[in-house]
Structure 1
Amino acid sequence: MNLKKEYRKKGKELLKHKSSEEVSQLHSRLFLSSAWKQATCIAMTISMPHEIDTYRLIEQAWEENKRVCVPKSFPDNKELRFYELTDFAQLEETFFQLKEPNTRVSNEVKREEIDVILVPGLMFDLNGYRVGYGGGYYDRYLASSSALTLSICLDEQLIDHVPRNTYDVKVDQVLTPQREIYT
């Protein structure tokens, strides 16, 4: 088994055992961050049950009158596009049981409109590199984005070094319940 696959497995296992207290601390740290406070348009995924909850983040963003956009994957060309989400009813279940925006009722958001992208992952390192789910969707998108990039994770998901390739794009910040790392 290669190292990235090993880290994917480890990250998924760690997330299974997350506590609501850890997630609450992480949400609070994010809400107090300058990235969150200054953003008017935030991009983030719709969390799966085993992941850190983003529904609460979306609701908080709406309460603060921030625009929220969520990704839609296009597997044919491995492209990622973001669409504005104003109501959870705009979501539909797609491949791998992902919840993504229904493009018939959601408007696409241009790259330059997004202030902050919350980049998902399973393991992260101190330099801002991450092990994602293996599709490369985010790395391709981030390569041409000027938005501030931020990942949130449990303290146990943060390690010294994750394996990386030339096409991997690091995030600007990593937040855990206990730490704030700028890369």
Structure 2
Amino acid sequence: MPVSDIRARKMELRRRCREFRQGLTEEKKRQMDGFILKRVQSLRQYRNERVILTYVSTSIEVDTRNLIEKALAAGKHVAVPRCVPGTREMEFYFIRSLDDLEPGAFGVLEPVPEKCRKLIDYSRGLCIVPGLGFDYAGYRLGYGKGYYDRFLSQFGGSTAGICYQGCVRWRLPHGRFDRAVDVLITEGYIRRTGLPR
């Protein structure tokens, strides 16, 4: 499939996923987020890892703020991303509470570097990966900026994609350097997609 066709298909898929998410009532979204949170907490990787890397959710994403608070309360070290200005790279910083965040790139809450310790070791941990959509093999449909694609190519720990079932497709277009998540979690199921780490 030509590159222009793949781009057009991805744009259409992104539009559909956004429409699905924007169509959820607050109550329905809260219920689905709760189911996803419980499934994340049930993962062996979540129970065994002390370091959890996670995005900070926006209004149309699967909620991670509750996850962050519960992980911190459980004594885990939680690191969240900050986009490096002028690049397509991101760094993760440990936070002690949601008060360590401020609006950053694209209006997303990011850690305040002066308040937080930078994560240096990317060889382990569990990374909760965002995506507008995923497919059954664990490949993600991102937002088109490439931040997570670059990061995941160098991350050595376990990965879990969280997504609403209505945004999961049988197969998504992806490149040979794209990395599938190890586990896909929706409100309805946990699907192990990769080899155990």
Same fold (TM over 0.5): yes
Matches within 5 A, 1:39-118: 39-112=49-122, 114-118=124-128
The answer to whether the 8 A contact 1:85-1:106 is kept is: yes
What per-residue deviation string (whole Å, max 9, x for no partner) do you get for residues 20-48 of structure 1?
22111111111112121112110001111
Q: Distance in 2 between matches of 1:114 and 1:89?
A: 26
Residue of structure 2 in register with 1:119 after alignment: 129
Q: Distance in 2 between matches of 1:90 and 1:114?
A: 23
**Shift, 1:75, TM fit:** 4.2
What per-residue deviation string (whole Å, max 9, x for no partner) do you get for residues 60-108 of structure 1?
1011100000001114221111000112221111132111011111111
Q: Distance in 2 between matches of 1:98 and 1:112?
A: 22
For residue 21 of structure 2, what is the amino acid of its counterpart? L
Q: Percent identity?
A: 30
Q: Distance in 2 between matches of 1:47 and 1:170?
A: 21
For residue 117 of structure 2, what is the amino acid of its counterpart? N
Structure 1 portions without partners, runs of 5+: none
The answer to whether the 8 A contact 2:102-2:110 is kept is: yes
What is the Cα-based RMSD across aligned positions, in Å? 1.4
For residue 45 of structure 1, what is the amino acid of its counterpart? Y
The answer to whether the 8 A contact 1:68-1:86 is kept is: yes
TM-score (norm 1): 0.94
For residue 47 of structure 1, what is the amino acid of its counterpart? S
Higher RCO, 1 vs 2 (CA within 8 Å, ≥6 residues apart): 1
Residues 1:163 and 2:169 are matched in the alignment: no
SS in 2 for 1:69: strand
The answer to whether the 8 A contact 1:41-1:113 is kept is: no
Which of 25, 37, 51 aligns to 2:47? It is 37
How many residue pairs align between the two structures? 183
Residues 1:150 and 2:160 are matched in the alignment: yes
Runs of 4+ with >2 A deviation: 111-114
Structure 2 portions without partners, runs of 5+: 1-6
Q: Distance in 1 between matches of 2:93 and 2:170?
A: 34
Q: Distance in 2 between matches of 1:143 and 1:173?
A: 16
TM-score (norm 2): 0.88
